Amino acid sequence: DLERQFALLCRLRDLLSRTHETINRIRTTRALFESRQRAAPGAKESDAVRGSRRLVRSLAAIEEALVQTKARARRDFMIMPTKLNAKIGGLILHVGDADGPPTRASQELTRRLERTLEVLLARLQRAMAPAPGGFRPILPDGEPSHHR
């Protein structure tokens, strides 16, 4: 029973780590493109500028699905929707507090949370892909986005 509990906790830990790594990647990339936009305030509405703005909006939407970005005070977390990272964290607490094997409900919720992350990762990959004949995001390390 404890081995099954431990296995699920490890799976959830890895899921939460992937979620937070994705959030960090989004924030780094978004900050880079926002700073580029600020550096060229009078820039003509070129395909690159429009593509950059579109990318920033897409990244923000994905980030908002992963983590509560609008909460400013502790109380905000109680009244605003719970996002993926908090759902995973809550399930970790629930599974870790149990004195028996993980329930079917906990296992099913884990699978649903994993699928949710996979969908969001696919959205991120599409957002970072070069537009046909147009905007091609370059990441902080200078590598075109389609190599990630």
Q: What is the pLDDT of residues 83-140, one digit of tens each?
A: 999 999 999 999 999 988 999 999 999 999 999 999 999 999 999 887 665 566 655 5
Q: What is the 3-state secondary structure (H, E, C) of the chain?
A: CHHHHHHHHHHHHHHHHHHHHHHHHHHHHHHHHHHHHHHCCCCCCCHHHHHHHHHHHHHHHHHHHHCCCCCCCCCHHHHCCCCHHHHHHHHHHHHHHCCCCCCHHHHHHHHHHHHHHHHHHHHHHHHHCCCCCCCCCECCCCCEHHHC
Predicted local distance difference test score (pLDDT) of residue 87: 97
State the virtual CA torsion across 70, 72, 76, 82 in degrees, nearest 10: 40
Chain center to CA of 142: 22
Predicted local distance difference test score (pLDDT) of residue 13: 98
The predicted model scores a pTM of 0.83
Max avg pLDDT among 11-15, 46-50, 129-133? 11-15
Model confidence at 147, pLDDT cuts 50, 70, 90, reads: very low
